[in-house]
Amino acid sequence: MGGLGNFKEFLENFPKYGYQVFMPELPIYNSKLLDTNVKYFAKYINKFINSLKLNKVILVGNSLGGHIALVHANMFPSETKAIVLTGSSGLYENSMGDTYPRRGDYEFIKKKTQDVFYLPEIATKEVVDEVFESVNNRKKVLKILAVAKSAIRHNMSKDLPKINIPTAIIWGKDDKVTPPNVATEFDKLLPNSKLFWFDKCGHAPMMEHPKKFNKTVYNWLKDNNL
């Protein structure tokens, strides 16, 4: 349920390092129900890349976005130059609870949104309101459930050893959604990866420590001549 605003600092500041940054919005709420799955979104990203005539891209993804980046790399390896994963699904993630969130309960949604971050105040009223609106929209709820089920079904443990593409894994030590052992497993299964830990950080390092996140990505790209 993350929006493009989650990468605001990255989008505004990373081009200063000399990179072009494109941020497509995934059609999670606009695609057909049957197309609301990680494989379709990976193909959508590939169409976006081709429409701009880009040559071998670096994909940066948080949570579901990281999962889609991995699927894209697996399906289109010749068009994927490198990957930056942060709090990625694809192996395991905790849901918002044992049942679907109580839609009308604003305080429940607020608490669950705050739990995504190490510091609760990162979940501003704007962020909470966006999540609350999504889970109270019947059409969006159906799409959220569909993509969540797709992510669970599309476990990548067997695919990861075949993805021999430079991958930075940036993870919060206090991530409750995709716990630290998930990052360790990604690092173990991916043949060309490097793991970076962020202290006092939950599920969204690019929001919680934006300057450190940008610098970590840049230094890793530079070290790998990317």
Instruction: Give the tens place of pLDDT for each residue, 144-154.
Output: 788 888 888 88
Which pLDDT score is estimated for 123?
82
Query: Residues 152-157: contacts with CB within 8 Å, 24+ apart?
Result: 154/37, 154/38, 154/39, 154/67, 154/71, 154/90, 155/90, 155/91, 156/67, 156/70, 156/71, 156/74, 156/90, 156/91, 157/91, 157/185, 157/189
Which of these ranges, 37-41, 192-196, 219-223, has the smallest mean pLDDT?
37-41
pLDDT above 90 covers a percentage of the chain that reads: 61
Mean pLDDT, rounded, of the chain: 89
Torsion of CA 177, 181, 184, 190, to 10 degrees: -60
**Which pLDDT belongs to residue 94?**
55
Using DSSP's 3-state secondary structure scheme, residue 167 falls into strand
pTM over 0.85: yes
- Higher model confidence: residue 59 or residue 2? 59
Domains along the chain with CATH numbers: 4-223 (3.40.50.1820)
